[in-house]
Amino acid sequence: MNKSKRSLLKHGSKTEEWFFREVNLAHMRHYGYPLFTETDYQVPVDRCILDAQYKDEKVKINYELDGPLHFTLKGMEYDQKRDAYIKRQEYRVLRVPYFLMYEPEWRSYVGDMVVYLTKLIKEQNE
């Protein structure tokens, strides 16, 4: 594996960094505390690297921001196998398409995602 690929796996892309920062800001606005901490980004889980995770005693959610390669046939086939593997690790997988960020209303989408994610967490903890 080359150095830039290792670095990307360890740190994620600038787009992922920006997106998850926006998710955290939206969560702060709605609920008063961040959803993710620094240790929740680019998390190794066995043989996979999760873009971001939310994890507590009862809930494990893998939050993925999918770039263009995820929408190719090869990418979709790979994601299907990877998601099945992650689900066997007791994670729920939520995928967000990268092009959502190019929509004029993207901030309201992020707010909706935060509300939905928080609802999932609460339901699982009941």
Q: Can you give the C-alpha Rg of the chain in angstroms?
A: 15
The predicted-structure confidence for 15-42, as pLDDT tens digits, reads as follows 888 888 888 888 888 889 888 888 898 9
Domains and CATH numbers, the chain: 3-125 (3.40.960)
Q: Is the dihedral of CA 104, 108, 110, 113 positive or negative?
A: negative
Computed over every residue of the chain, the mean pLDDT equals 85
Assess whether pLDDT exceeds 90 at residue 62: yes
pTM listed for this prediction? 0.79
HSE of 53, CA atoms in CB hemisphere, 13 A: 19
In this prediction, what percent of the chain has a pLDDT beyond 90? 33
Give the pLDDT confidence score for residue 11 in this predicted structure. 62
